[in-house]
Every structure is written in C-alpha cells, then in structure tokens.
Amino acid sequence: MKKALALLLAFVLLASLVACGGAAGPSNDGSETNTSDAENSEETTQADKPSSDLDAAEVGGMVELAGLNWRVLAIEDGKALIISDLVLEERAYHNEYGEITWAECDLRAYLNGSFYENTFSAEEKARIVETELTTNDSPLYGAPGGVATTDKVFLLSLEEVVEYFGDSGQLATIIAGNYDPEDDLPETARYISDDYDEARKAQSAYSAVAESWWLRTPGLRAAYVSYINSYGGNISLAGGDANSPHGSKGMRPALWISLG
C-alpha cells in the first residue's frame, strides 16, 4: 500500500513539473508577432524621420531644411532634388483672372521672392542651386507652357511628377496621342490615375487632411493649371482656374540643393 502511494505521489510530482515547463516555454498569445510588428513600425518611422545632415540625403528619405521637412526625389551630379513633405500654403497660382504661364505667374514671383528670402538662412541659401526650367505645353490640350525660366524655388511639372513619383505609362500614351478616356468622362475632367495616386497625396501643413497642390504645367486652356487632386492623388490634366479663390489649392515648393 505504501509502495502504491509513493508511486502515485511521484506521478503527481512529475505531471506538475511538466506543466510548469510548458508554461515557461514560448507563448502562443501573439506576443512574438506583436514584437515583430513593433520592430517593423520602428523601421518605418526611422525611414520617415528627417535628417538634419543634408549630405546624408537619400532618395525616398527626408531631410530637414529651414525647419521644414523635405522629401528627397532625386540625387544627381552632387545635387539633391527635394520637395516639401506637406502642402505649405494655400495660394492662388495667379492673382488675376486670365491667361498665364509659369514664367509670369504670381506664385513663381512669391516663391523666388519673399518665400525664399524669409524662409531660408544665409547658409541654406548658399546651398540652393539656381535651376533652368522648361515648362512644356499641355500634352493633351496644347495650352502654352511659356518661356524657359531660371528659378531657385519652383513647382514640379507634370513630367517631373511622373518621373519622380512613379510612371505608369499613361503620360506617354497621352503624348503619343492615344488617350482614350472612359466614355462618360468629359473632356474637362481628364486625369491620370494609377498605382502612384497615394504617393502623390500630401497633407496640409495646417490640418490633418490631404490638400490639392499645384503643378506648373498648363491645363485645359492658358488660364488653367494642372494640379494633384487631394481626394485621390490623381493628376488633373484639365487643371483648375489659376485664379482659384484662396484655400482651394496649395503649394509644395521644390528646389535643388548642393551636396558635399
């Protein structure tokens, strides 16, 4: 009897040890997955964290300049092309109604005037490279792009947006004259919408919502300008009235800075 009781106690003790060992093993409560998710989130946050070292700029990364965050679009010939990460200000492209081009518009004058003078320090200005720009005619409507300009600060063109934010081939189709919109899509509403819509969307600097932002390429006619639509990130080829009321569209300044 004593022998049987001893065996029973030994069995209970062994079962208890096994149970404790199982509890000490890896958990199946999802903690490993949660840890992995946290690590991935941290990596994403680090990638979006702006660098104060301009010479460490990397395409797709962010740098800090004049207290603002700028996304790096390209690096070539010792220079980096950057664009403000947010839509900085809501402004009309031009302050009077009528035909207008980038060379003559009030927004260009503002960007290369008071915005440039009041935003950047003397040291930062020394790194901003004057850039010769060509603004092509509208590829769909033929509205004139105007004369070439030399600018320190500028807006991207339709072609530059496609080049630096992603090219689905739609622009090339338009330029080739083979654009075939949906049957119910009116001529005045034609746009480019593709897998890069999300990349083109930008948040307002003053609210937590996306905001439309101007390009410098003309739209439906000489009084209209193409822009990125806040709702879907598509490119409006017909564009909006250059004299749109304050608050309808904003600006994402772009510029080239010297590296090294």
Which range scores top for mean pLDDT: 49-53, 103-107, 231-235?
103-107
Do the beta carbons of residue 250 and residue 214 sit within 8 Å?
yes
pLDDT of res. 37: 46
The mean pLDDT value for 172-200 works out to 74
The two structure tokens encoding residue 105: 């518009």
pLDDT of res. 179: 59
| Residue 41, H or E segment | helix 31-48
Torsion from C-alpha of 197, 202, 207, 208, nearest 10 degrees: 50
| Residue 117, H or E segment | helix 116-119
Do the beta carbons of residue 224 and residue 239 sit within 8 Å?
yes
- The residue that leads in pLDDT, 231 or 233, is 233
Residue 26 pLDDT greater than 80, yes or no: no
pLDDT of res. 48: 66
Do the beta carbons of residue 128 and residue 115 sit within 8 Å?
no
**pLDDT of 84-101, one tens digit each?**
999 999 999 999 989 999
- The residue that leads in pLDDT, 21 or 144, is 144
Residue 36 pLDDT greater than 90, yes or no: no
Q: Is 12 helix (H, G, I), strand (E, B) or coil?
A: helix
pLDDT of res. 77: 93
pLDDT of res. 11: 44
Q: Which residues pair with 64 in a beta bridge?
A: 69
Beta-sheet strands, E only, within the chain: 62-65, 68-76, 79-84, 89-90, 128-129, 131-133, 149-151, 191-192, 213-218, 224-228, 235-241, 250-251, 254-258
Residue 71 pLDDT greater than 60, yes or no: yes
Q: Is 76 helix (H, G, I), strand (E, B) or coil?
A: strand
The mean pLDDT value for 173-194 works out to 67
pLDDT of res. 247: 53
pLDDT of res. 208: 84
Do the beta carbons of residue 255 and residue 153 sit within 8 Å?
yes
pLDDT of res. 57: 85
170: number of Cβ within 10 Å:
17
pLDDT of res. 159: 97
pLDDT of res. 217: 98
The two structure tokens encoding residue 39: 């690590």
**pLDDT of 136-152, one tens digit each?**
999 988 999 999 999 99
Residue 41 pLDDT greater than 50, yes or no: no
Residue owning tokens 């104060």 = 52
The two structure tokens encoding residue 131: 């850039």
